[in-house]
Amino acid sequence: MNEVSGRHSAVAAFWDWWGQRGRGLAESVIGGGPKDDLVAEMSAHIAAIGAGLQWEFAPGPAGGHVLVVTAAGDPQLRAPARAWLRAAVPAPDWSYADLRQPLPDATDTELEFAGRRLRLGDFVVAAYRGNTAIDVAVQHPVFMDIGEEEAAQLTYLALDSFLGEEMVETWIGEVSWPGEPPLDAFPLQHLRTVVADFAAGFRTAEGEPQWVVLQGTGPSGSPVLALAQVPLRQITFPLFDTHVAVTVPYADRTPDGLPGPGSLEALRGLEDRLSEVLGADGRVVAHQSSDGVRLLHAYVDGTSEAADRVAATAAEWDQGDAQTVVTPDPGWALVNHLAG
């Protein structure tokens, strides 16, 4: 059995178990019952879907319970987690998520950590807006008494509690955890409003990522012109774990090597056709042009045949030999240079 078939079988087995036994065990544990059977069986089923996936229960925003199965920041596991979620079977009083949700009462929530009780409302943060992300410095008084690793764990736990995992991974850039509160710090509970306002500037009216123009200089000294979606992060499309690079030469070029009017329309047409053949299985997320060559970056669901469809479409290019290279890249590392 290959990896894809194995994942599908494990996902189906989980939802069968959940419907027949798991949900009842979970409700018993939430009500105060013994948890050993639930932990052992749930952990075994989740590990079969993807080793390293984490699971937890959370209160639902409108009552009930949420079962969260999350990659916990590991890009290799986002596709298995999303595959699990897409197969979810509805049940009364239950909802499901593959990303940790913000806590509805995070400010008043207390945590037990290393024998201490900590109030989330005591966290403060300083936020620094960048081009496409917000860097943050998160602080709590307990950081003066614990090690770096513990402070880092608490920092990310607090960020997820107030923002939710999706907002953290999409819009938060560099994260630090100083021992002393920054001079411009404010209560962490207000960071969500800051991030939401920042993110709104990069969304279309339909909620799609905006595109930004980037300029630079290539290895030869020639100018490079690029367009990229913002945010350029895999969490926006968790199933798209495979990079497809399409390199096409263009015949009409300006003196500095960028596309001229005679080729620009054809390049736009190619991108439109690639988007059409990708459908729901992938997306063109960026392209860059320099020295008479355009490199288009697409990401696809590696379990689909989308990469083959892209290669077949690119082969029809009539202004030179098109090249298509397919590379597994669940972390979208191959477009980091365009992430802003």
d(CA 97, CA 17) in angstroms, rounded, equals 18
E strand or H helix that includes residue 127: strand 124-129
Tokens describing residue 1: 């059995």
Phi, psi torsion values for 280, nearest 5 degrees = -85, 0
pLDDT, tens digit, for every residue of 86-138?
Answer: 999 898 899 999 999 898 888 888 888 777 888 999 999 999 999 889 999 99
d(CA 173, CA 177) in angstroms, rounded, equals 13
Residue 149 and residue 58 share a domain:
no
Residue 194 and residue 131 share a domain:
yes
Q: Cα 287 to the chain's mean position, in Å?
A: 20
Q: For residue 242, what are the domain limits?
A: 210-338
Residue 21 and residue 90 share a domain:
yes
Q: Give me the pLDDT at residue 106, please.
A: 86
Residue 83 and residue 111 share a domain:
no
- Boundary of a domain, candidates 151, 175, 200: 200
DSSP reduced 3-state for 222: coil
Band (203; pLDDT cuts 50, 70, 90): confident
DSSP calls for 87-109: T---BTTEEEESSPPPPTTGGG-
Residue 181 and residue 290 share a domain:
no
Decide: 293 and 247 in contact? Cβ < 8 Å: yes
pLDDT, tens digit, for every residue of 233-258?
Answer: 999 899 999 999 999 999 999 999 99
**Mean of the pLDDT values across residues 198-212?**
86
Q: Give me the pLDDT at residue 62, please.
A: 74
Report if residue 251 sits inside a domain.
Answer: yes
Residue 77 and residue 12 share a domain:
yes
d(CA 199, CA 126) in angstroms, rounded, equals 17
* Short-list 187, 194, 192, 103, CA closest to 140: 187
d(CA 298, CA 326) in angstroms, rounded, equals 10
Decide: 310 and 296 in contact? Cβ < 8 Å: no
Decide: 332 and 76 in contact? Cβ < 8 Å: no
Report if residue 205 sits inside a domain.
Answer: no
Residue 334 and residue 228 share a domain:
yes
**Mean of the pLDDT values across residues 68-72?**
93
**Mean of the pLDDT values across residues 157-183?**
93
Report if residue 300 sits inside a domain.
Answer: yes
**Mean of the pLDDT values across residues 221-231?**
91
Band (305; pLDDT cuts 50, 70, 90): very high
Identity at 1, one-letter amino acid code: M
Q: Give me the pLDDT at residue 253, please.
A: 93
Report if residue 89 sits inside a domain.
Answer: yes
Q: Give me the pLDDT at residue 251, please.
A: 94
Residue 329 and residue 217 share a domain:
yes
pLDDT, tens digit, for every residue of 29-57?
Answer: 888 888 888 999 999 999 999 999 999 99
- The percent of residues above 70 in pLDDT, for the chain, comes to 98
Tokens describing residue 267: 């390049």
Task: Lowest mean pLDDT of 101-110, 153-162, 175-184, name the range.
Answer: 101-110
Q: Give me the pLDDT at residue 3, please.
A: 65
Band (2; pLDDT cuts 50, 70, 90): low
Report if residue 92 sits inside a domain.
Answer: yes
Report if residue 277 sits inside a domain.
Answer: yes
Q: Is the pLDDT of residue 61 over 90?
A: no
d(CA 148, CA 290) in angstroms, rounded, equals 44
Residue 131 and residue 27 share a domain:
no
Report if residue 321 sits inside a domain.
Answer: yes
d(CA 101, CA 195) in angstroms, rounded, equals 15
Residue 124 and residue 237 share a domain:
no
Decide: 251 and 321 in contact? Cβ < 8 Å: no
d(CA 121, CA 113) in angstroms, rounded, equals 15
d(CA 10, CA 279) in angstroms, rounded, equals 27
Band (165; pLDDT cuts 50, 70, 90): very high
Query: Is the preceding peptide bond at 231 cis, omega within 30 degrees of 0?
Result: yes
Instruction: Mark 268-290 as b/e (b = at least 16 C-beta within 10 Å).
Output: eebbeebeeebeebbbbbbbbbb
- Boundary of a domain, candidates 97, 119, 135: 97
Q: Is the pLDDT of residue 299 over 60?
A: yes
Residue 238 and residue 258 share a domain:
yes
Strand partners, 287: 227, 296
**Mean of the pLDDT values across residues 69-93?**
92
> Tokens 């920092």 appear where?
155
Other CB atoms closer than 10 Å to residue 266's CB: what's the count?
Answer: 17
Decide: 322 and 247 in contact? Cβ < 8 Å: yes
Q: How many domains does the chain have?
A: 3
Residue 238 and residue 168 share a domain:
no
- Boundary of a domain, candidates 147, 181, 200: 200
Q: For residue 230, what is the domain's CATH number? A: 3.30.70
